[in-house]
Each structure stands twice: as structure tokens, then as C-alpha cells.
Amino acid sequence: MSNDYDTEFREMIGPPLKVRGSLFLQEDVRAVTVDVVGHLSTQKNIATSNLKVSGDCSIRGHCRANQVNNLGSLRVQHIQADRLQSSGYLSVAQDAVVETFYAEGAVKINRLIAGTSIEIRLGNKSTLEVMRSSGTITVKPSSKLINALMHYCRKLTCETIEGTSIILYRTTADLVCGEDIFIGPGCSIGEIRYSKSLTIDPRSHVDRTVFLNK
């Protein structure tokens, strides 16, 4: 993905886009970098090498980027990126397709698909319909003190979780499927399907486990 983006962005004419106040756009945005400190609202799509949000950004269409760093509030219909990191509020109405994903904040995503890894540090309540990774999935409480004091709302709710190596804390899910699965405290799982190893903390509840003999 990176090589395609490098070629595309070298051919871009538009300068970097910096938003310090409020900007409302009706057209597509194509810029080498997009830096949002204030408020950006676009009705269409954004294509950029680097999207950084420390204010508020609303994208009614799709966003394609090499790297996304969200420190504020980012709302988008569909997002595709090599690396996505969020410590603010992230909402994706459709699909988030990434290579690596890291979040330490509130997350609301329909489908999260990662090529390498997903790591969610529970700083707030997060919800997903589907979370899938070809590699690792890790869901743990945030290490930040202020989030530790709000432990009652640090939870993840997800219908389906699929990965190779999975570690879950404070997670509610209908189905968890993988090779090596570790269920830490505070989880409520409907069914677990595993092919290598399974560990379940006694402080969690699992309705059914299925060993997949490959």
C-alpha cells in the first residue's frame, strides 16, 4: 500500500492542508498532509499521506491515508490506512481497513480489519460489530491514571472477534475465534473457537468452548 501512496502523493499538486479555525468543504480533498487543529467538515472524500486530528474532523465520504493520528474527534464513513492510532474519539460508520491499529480512547466502528495487529487500550467504552486481524488482537485496560479511575466504563462490546493470537480483558462478545486465546478478567463470551491453546480467567464467563482440530 505504501508504494502506491508514495507515487500518488508525489504527483499531487495541492499543498498541505492546515485547518486552524472552521472549514466546510463540498469537494474531495487531495493533499500531501492534512492537519486539523480546529474543525474540518467535508461532504466527500479525503486522500492524504498523513492525517493528524487534534481538533474535530468529520468526513462524510471515504478517507485514504498512509498514517492517521487522532488526538481529538474523528468521524468518517470508511477509512483505509497503513497505520491508525487514536487516543481521542474515533467513529467509523462502515469499514476501517488498516495494517496496524492502536487506540486508547473511545472507539465506535462497524467492521475493523487489520493485516498485522489490533491493540485497544480501554480508556472508555468502545463498541464494534466485527474485529478481525490476520495477526494479533489485544484488548487491555488503559495504563493512564485518569482512565484507571474510570474503570466502570472501560469496556469493549463486539459481536465477532477473529485473529491468530487473542488477548481480551473486560470484553463482551458473541463469538471469539483464533489459535491461541487468553481471556482475562471481566469478560463475557458466548462462544470460543480455538485451535491451539485457551486460557480463561475464573472471573470471566464463557458459555461454550469449541476446540477446532486442524
- Asked if residue 194 is part of any domain, the answer here is no
- Asked if residue 151 is part of any domain, the answer here is no
- Asked if residue 29 is part of any domain, the answer here is yes
- Report the alpha-carbon distance of residue 166 to residue 189 in Å, rounded: 13
Q: How do residues 158-188 score in pLDDT, each as one tens digit?
A: 999 999 999 999 999 999 999 999 999 999 9
What backbone torsions phi and psi does residue 78 show, to the nearest 5 degrees?
A: -145, 140
Indicate if the pLDDT at residue 37 is higher than 90.
yes
For residue 214, how many C-alpha atoms fall within 13 Å in the half-sphere facing its CB? 7
- Asked if residue 124 is part of any domain, the answer here is no
* Helices and strands (DSSP H and E) totals, the chain: 2, 16
- Asked if residue 57 is part of any domain, the answer here is yes
Q: How do residues 54-85 score in pLDDT, each as one tens digit?
A: 999 999 999 999 999 999 999 999 999 999 99
- Asked if residue 166 is part of any domain, the answer here is no
- Asked if residue 159 is part of any domain, the answer here is no
- pTM for this predicted structure: 0.91
Indicate if the pLDDT at residue 145 is higher than 70.
no
Contact 59, 76 (CB under 8 A): yes
- Asked if residue 17 is part of any domain, the answer here is yes
> What is the span of the domain harbouring residue 36?
1-101
Structural domains in the chain (count)? 1
Confidence band for 1, pLDDT divided at 50, 70 and 90: very low
Indicate if the pLDDT at residue 30 is higher than 70.
yes
Nearest to 74 by CA among 85, 90, 97, 86: 90
Mean pLDDT of the chain: 91
